Structure 1
Amino acid sequence: MAENKTKATAASAGDYVAAIADESRRRDCDRLMGLMAKASKHPAVMWGPAIVGFGVHRYPLAGGKQGEICAVGFSSRKGDISIYGVTGHPQASELLARLGKHKLGKGCLYISRLADIDLNVMAQLVSQAVEDKQA
């Protein structure tokens, strides 16, 4: 079986965010990094070259093996900020209804900017997702 390409690295999450060219997006990602670290109770760690992750989620694979990815995370993409891992817990749909302007994709939440969402709701999404995955 192929190994997971997205792994925790020693790269600096702060350097990743500082290198974001758009000043507004850089500020949003810096604030989001602080919010997610506080809500998840885990430090920011780079997963691959472009995902700022928090915590570790281990999951079973075929043949008794185990995969691993960040419990929650985000990445600054071309059009939006992609937020990973926050939509699968049982209370997510109720919280998403109160979040504000966002789009949903396959396992991802997309926001254009932090001003479009309720940061308290985002913090709840993050903390509940991490709790759910580490239970």
Structure 2
Amino acid sequence: MTQKTLPTEVPVDEYLATLDARRNAEGAELVAIFRAVTGAEPVMWGPSMIGFGTYAYQYASGHEGIWPRAAFSPRKAKLSFYGLQTHPDAAAVLERLGSHTTGVDCVYVTRLSAIDLDALRELIALGWTVTADTAVDPH
């Protein structure tokens, strides 16, 4: 099985410029937040995910690949966050985040102004620590 979502050479600013005004502004704010918390530079993963850092994973099935240590996607309907639920303390912080829904590995919010950005920063930091042992340089 070939991994579909991988880092690309598309500049993040170029991608953000294709979004509507609100998602562009939220995307720029999120880039600044994720960069400040992780110390990593943003990289486009696939057509719409902005990732920070990289880690290697391998499932029991033998499938392996790389994935961003923290990421978000400013999709039209909702902002999608990746890697924020993996830390054991994340559930308690999610309770402070504000209006959101969750999926298997995603946290969804409708707009950035509706959530607690300090809680978001804490979730990013917690998630970042979970993948520290498997962090890799994809280049």
Q: TM-score normalised to the size of structure 2?
A: 0.89
Q: Structure 2: how far apart are the matches of 1:127 and 1:12?
A: 24
Structure 1 segment 53-92 matched on structure 2, within 5 A: 53-61=51-59, 66-92=64-90
Paired positions, count = 133
**Which residue of 70, 93, 96 corresponds with 1:95?**
93
Q: Does 1:7 align with 2:6?
A: yes
Deviation for aligned residue 1:128: 1.2
Match of residue 128 from structure 1:
126
Identity %: 32
Q: Which moved more, 1:89-98 or 1:63-72?
A: 63-72
**Which residue of 37, 43, 46 corresponds with 2:44?**
46
Match of residue 109 from structure 2:
111
Deviation for aligned residue 1:117: 0.7
Letter in 2 for 1:104: T
Q: Structure 2: how far apart are the matches of 1:38 and 1:130?
A: 12
Deviation for aligned residue 1:49: 1.0
30 and 63 in structure 1: CA distance in 2 versus 1, 3 angstrom threshold: same
Q: TM-score normalised to the size of structure 1?
A: 0.91
Q: Structure 2: how far apart are the matches of 1:125 and 1:55?
A: 15
Q: Structure 1: how far apart are the matches of 2:127 and 2:27?
A: 19
CA RMSD of aligned residues (A): 1.5
**Which residue of 22, 27, 36 corresponds with 1:24?**
22
Any unmatched runs of 5+ in structure 1? none
Any unmatched runs of 5+ in structure 2? 134-139
Q: Deviations over 1:96-116 (max 9, x none)?
A: 011111111121001111111
SS at match of 2:68: strand
